Structure 1
């Protein structure tokens, strides 16, 4: 099933070997997602700071910063710490690799030679989780806007009641409530990211 641009997620593929990147793209192509390449751990970290990824496929054996070190750095950053990482290992990798990978925060492993069906299935699980998380965030933002609207309405009613009462204290209180009302209205107009910070 081909997905529209709104449903597409970013998948980061990290490998220093061109033929491996081509193989990953061929295997993941049928998922119709946006595939982003990185040829090193450093490139991967830069890409992750520029855009949001649903999942990262990360080769363990790379020159310079290897997959374990890259995974550890991804998990250290607030912006990227929740992105699931699938470590890609050679068939010679033993239990020590798995222990080390889970210790740095990897969510899963896949061994070369890669079974296309297994890889697509694993990646699809993380894509579904990412979409659900995105939907929850959108619903939460919509719920926030609704609640802010209700608060504004109640404040307006209180302000009206106070303005109709005699005495200087009621007027001062009404002015303060009007200030709070304006603050809540400005919160309603702010993007969701600014609202939560």
Structure 2
């Protein structure tokens, strides 16, 4: 049975971490704290995370530098990052955040409902992404068993490429984009769900053909 998804909360202020935990506890996910960029990287290399909520302004390694490290490593590059910043922050922070690999950007103080809703959408997308990868891998294994399954292999490869394209758009928005936001991510989530349904049908077809 799959364990609860992990969310990494990164902020150098204890009060902010406590507030984030209070907002996100109703989601019943595993919440892990990090008080610095260095602590965040250690946590990410130790465990798998579905999402990172990352403060921009921190001493030492700030949020942008931390995000760059996350996106450079194969083990962590696909983890979604939501940047958190103060209302009096530099206006250029938003642009820098998306360039660094953020999927969204929230300004403190944020509405608890909005934060929970956005986090839930990204968790749903993460879940569907993993399911689709598993289905694509299963298809590729099954489709190599005979000439009759060649088309199945081609469709599996097509679905895998579709997933890669969606993840690239999610985890690395084009410089200058205003961010995907909840609605765009819901759209991607729906596309992934449709692709997964196609995978399910193909898997069932190949099992019958065995």
Query: Is 1:147 equivalent to 2:122 in the alignment?
Result: no
Residue matched to 1:99: 95
Q: Secondary structure at the match of 2:61?
A: coil
Q: Distance in 2 between matches of 1:75 and 1:69?
A: 10
Report which of the two structures shows the higher radius of gyration computed on alpha carbons. 1
Report the secondary structure of 1:88's partner residue: strand
Q: What is the TM-score with the length of structure 1 in the denominator? A: 0.70
- Find the counterpart in structure 2 of residue 136 from structure 1: 132
Tell me if 1:19 matches 2:32. no
Structure ranking higher on relative contact order (CA contacts 8 Å, 6+ apart): 2
Tell me, in whole angstroms, the C-alpha distance in 2 between the residues paired with 1:79 and 1:13. 18
- 2:43 aligned with 1:47, yes or no? yes
Question: SS at 2:87's partner residue?
Answer: coil
Structure 1 unaligned runs (5+)? 152-197
Distance across 2 between alignment mates of 1:33 and 1:144:
32
Q: 1:10 aligns with which of 6, 28, 35?
A: 6
CA-to-partner distance for each residue in 1:82-128, whole Å, 9 max, x for gaps?
A: 11111100001243111111111111111111210111111111101
Which of 51, 57, 63 is 1:67 aligned to? 63
Q: Using the alignment, how far apart are the partners of 1:138 and 1:100 within structure 2?
A: 33
Larger CA deviation: 67-76 vs 136-145: 136-145
Unpaired runs of 5+ in structure 2? 147-210
Partner of 2:165: none
Alignment partner, residue 167 of structure 1: none
Query: Is residue 76 of structure 1 aligned with residue 43 of structure 2?
Result: no
Give the alignment of 1:181-192 within 5 angstroms: none
- 2:105 and 2:140 map into 1 onto residues whose CA distance is 38
How far apart, CA to CA, are the structure 1 residues paired with 2:12 and 2:89?
18
CA RMSD of aligned residues (A): 1.9
Which residue matches 1:87? 83
Instruction: For 2:103 and 2:65, locate their aligned partners in 1 and report how far apart those are by CA, in whole Å.
Output: 15
